[in-house]
Amino acid sequence: MRLTELHVSCLPEAVPDPGPMPRERVHPPTYHRDMAKLLTDNWPGSERWLFAYGSLIWKPRIGYLERRMALARCWHRDFCIGPDTRYRGNPLNPGYMLGLDRGGQCRGVIYRLDSKDFPESLEGC
């Protein structure tokens, strides 16, 4: 299984930044179900695989049917998200978060998700 340009093309070009988050994260009651629907509607095929390259490796927050070691070629972990004051740092010392950036390779884990229970499984996140 490879992360391809087709997978990347399924992502939105931009995600709007709503500004600073309150101290407690408050999502609307339908947030996880709406996100699951968005992913299901835009994810071709019946199998759902999730590539984990950070904390989801040692603390998966979603139910899965299978777990395998994986290598994402042409992508590497990098502190490429930021500068950020919402999740890391503060206005005087903004922080950066790890993301995947083009080039190199990244070892991680892939999880095969249960397509039937996919929307419900996201609600625990």
Q: Which of 27, 87, 31 is nearest to 55 (CA)?
A: 87
Q: Is residue 80 part of a domain?
A: yes
3-state secondary structure of 70: strand
Number of folded domains that form the chain: 1
Q: Walk along the chain (125 residues) and give the pLDDT tens digit of each residue.
A: 567 778 777 776 776 666 665 555 667 778 877 887 787 777 766 778 889 998 889 888 778 899 999 999 999 999 888 887 777 777 788 888 889 999 999 999 999 987 776 666 666 55
Q: Is residue 6 part of a domain?
A: no
Q: Is residue 16 part of a domain?
A: no
pLDDT at 97: 84
Q: Is residue 21 part of a domain?
A: no
State the Cα angle at 104 between 102 and 107, rounded to 5°.
Answer: 105
Range of the domain at 89: 30-122
Q: Is residue 115 part of a domain?
A: yes
pLDDT at 106: 95
Q: Is residue 1 part of a domain?
A: no
pLDDT at 39: 76
User: What kind and span of H or E run contains 103?
Assistant: strand 94-113
pLDDT at 122: 63
pTM of the prediction? 0.63
Q: Is residue 24 part of a domain?
A: no
* Whole-number Cα distances in Å, 15 to 12, 18, 36, 60, 110: 7, 9, 16, 24, 24
pLDDT at 96: 86
pLDDT at 72: 94
Please give the backbone phi and psi of residue 71, each rounded to the nearest 5 degrees, phi first: -135, 120
pLDDT at 100: 92
Burial class of residue 26, CB neighbours in 10 A (0-12, 13-18, 19+): exposed
Q: Is residue 11 part of a domain?
A: no
pLDDT at 55: 86
